[in-house]
Amino acid sequence: MIRRILTNTRKHIARIGWVGWASVFVMTLEFLVASIFGGMALVANLYIGYIESKSNMLVFFNVGTDQEIINRLKSEWETDPKISEIVYMSEEQAFEFYSAYTSRVVPEQYQVLTRFDEKKLPSSLEIKIDSLNDISEVQAKLQKDINNELAKLIIVDIEGDEDNVDQVENLEENTTSDAETLDNAAEIPDNSDSNTTSLGNVTGEEEIRYKYSDEPGDEPIKLLVDNENLETLKDVFFKVRILGIATLSLLFVFVSIFIFMTVEFRLYNQKDEIGVMQLVGGSLTFIRAPYILEGGFYGTLGALLSTGVIGGLYFLIFEVNKDSTLAKYLYDMFDQLSWPVLTNPEKVLFILALAGVGFFLGSISSYFSIRRYIR
C-alpha cells in the first residue's frame, strides 16, 4: 500500500498547477522572513553575550590610593557568584594604556600626558558579571562596599552656614590675623559615620574631604556603570525577540492557512474521484496520505528554496565579493561576536532540520484540510 500511496502522491505533485506552485513560493517567502527574524534574534543574543563578556563596571582609585584598600575590595567582590571576573589595572599600566590610545586617537591629550612628572593615572578594577539582569543588584553591593571604605577615608568634615563659608573664603585672602576664625570654621564635629558628599556648597550642608584627594568632595573611589545604555540595549533586544516571535507566529499561521486552502481547493475539484475511492473500499489512510504528503512536499520545497537563497546571498557577499564595501561593513559590525561555527555535517543536519520543519507545516495543514472531505 505504501508504494501505491507514493505513486498517487507523485501523480498529484505532477499535476501541481499554479495553485501548488503558489503554495511553494509562499512557503519560501515565509522561511525567508523567518530566517531574517531568526537571524535578528541570534544577533541580539550574541550581542548581549558580547556585552556581558566585556567589563560591565569600572571602579577607579585616585593616584596614591593604598594598595591594601584595592586588594580588600577585590577580594571581597571575587566571592560574589554573580561576578565572573575582576581585572586589576595598576596606575602605571593605566598610564601606558591611555598614552597608547591617545597617541593614535587624540594627539592633543597625548601631548599633555607626556608632561606628567609621574607616569601614573588612576588605577582601576574592571568587573565582569555573568548576566546583565544582575547588574542592579551587583551595583548596589559594590556601591555599599565603596561607601564603607570612603567613610574610613574622611579626614575633614566641615559643617556650617553661609557665614562660615564666607569666613573661610576671607581667611584664604587675608593675613594670619584671621587664623582664629579659620580654626572655628574648620572645627571637626563628631560625625564619622557620614558618607554623604556635597561639592562646595554654601547652604549649610556637609563638605567632606577625603584622604588621597586634593579637592573637597572628590571621592578617591568611584564606581562607573553605564546603566542607561545597558538598560536601553536590554530593552531593545527584548523587543526584537518579542517582535520576531510574533512575526514568525503570524507567518506560520498565514502559511498554514494558505496551504490549507490550496489542498482544500484540490480536494474540492477531486471530490467525485474521492467519493468513488471510498465506494470501492479505499481506506481513509490510503485516500488521505497522498494529499498529506503533497502538502509536506510544498513545505519541504519552500524550506529548501529559502535556504538556497540565503546561502547564495552569503556566498555572493562574503566569498565572491569579500572585499566589497558591504562585506567590510558587516565584518566591522559583527565580526567581534561569537558566531557559532558549523562543520559540514552540521550544516547538512541544519538544512535537513529546516526541510523537516517545512514538511511538518505542510503536512499538518493538509491533514486538517482533508478531514473536512474524507471522513
CB half-sphere exposure, 141, CA atoms < 13 A:
18
Confidence (pLDDT) at 59: 93
> Is the pLDDT assigned to residue 124 strictly greater than 70?
yes
Instruction: Tell me the average pLDDT of the chain.
Output: 75
Of the given ranges (195-204, 241-250, 292-301, 328-337), which has the lowest mean pLDDT? 195-204
Q: Cell 506560520 sits at which residue?
A: 252
Task: Tell whether the torsion through CA atoms of 74, 79, 83 and 85 is positive or negative.
Answer: positive
pLDDT of residue 125: 92
pLDDT, tens only, 310-321: 888 888 887 777
Burial state string for 178-203 with b = 16 or more CB within 10 A and e = fewer than 16: beeeeeebeeeeeeeeebebeeeebe
Give the pLDDT mean for 242-256.
Answer: 74
Residues 6+ apart with CB under 8 A from 331: none
Asked if 149 and 73 touch (Cβ cutoff 8 Å), the reply is yes
pLDDT at 168: 36
Residue whose C-alpha is closest to residue 142's, from 79, 216, 229: 79
Termini Cα distance of the chain: 19
Q: Of 37-41, 69-73, 143-147, 360-364, which range is least confident?
A: 37-41
pLDDT higher than threshold 90 for residue 67: yes
* Residue pair 89/126 in contact by the 8 Å Cβ criterion: yes
Q: How many other CB atoms are there within 10 angstroms of residue 48's CB atom? A: 17
pLDDT of amino acid 203? 39
Asked if pLDDT for residue 292 goes beyond 90, the answer is no
Q: What is the pLDDT of residue 147?
A: 93
Task: Give me the count of residues in the chain.
Answer: 375
Looking at per-residue pLDDT, the higher value among 93 and 318 belongs to 93
Is the model's pLDDT at 293 over the cut of 70?
yes
Cell digits for 340? 557559532
